[in-house]
Chain A
Amino acid sequence: DGGITQSPKYLFRKEGQNVTLSCEQNLNHDAMYWYRQDPGQGLRLIYYSQIVNDFQKGDIAEGYSVSREKKESFPLTVTSAQKNPTAFYLCASSRWGLNTGELFFGEGSRLTVL
């Protein structure tokens, strides 16, 4: 079945460590996104990518980095510079074009910093 796969589902990290969250899609979508979800704050856009080898900062990009070497993959690295990394991270994808609106989401990765 087509969809978005995020891994790991749960991740624990010590302070000062970088961690990378994986996101893979087999929907043949051009655009991919990373959102962060915190209780009571909804979803906030971290980074997005419209095509391979190109990505743009979202509203809260500080302390995060991404790459887009393949159309199917859009990994997110949470660096030690991110001051409050404990959160639920959601990856999404969509077709590129006039705003069709529908984002397809993965089941998320929950990161806890110990």
Chain B
Amino acid sequence: AQRVTQPEKLLSVFKGAPVELKCNYSYSGSPELFWYVQYSRQRLQLLLRHISRESIKGFTADLNKGETSFHLKKPFAQEEDSAMYYCALKNSGGYQKVTFGTGTKLQVIP
């Protein structure tokens, strides 16, 4: 069974401080990991995925297969980063079952 764990429901940081949103996963195959974000009054949208190895809005995430983690990081938090963040895992089967974590609310304090 695949599982995604986000241990923090709420993470509060000051503007300019580093941010790390934790995500651990459990999956027996080769995972595809994502971070989705939901800003206030907006729809859930893709932030980044591990296969792209890109930085979006200053955020990066590295897949660590040894620690089964996919933590989301940003060196300097901005107020506009305040949102709900979901870590997600897609199965390796022929269809798109995506398992989401319970989400972490990031609150950036001015």
A binds B: no
Chain B residues packing against A (C-beta within 8 Å) = none
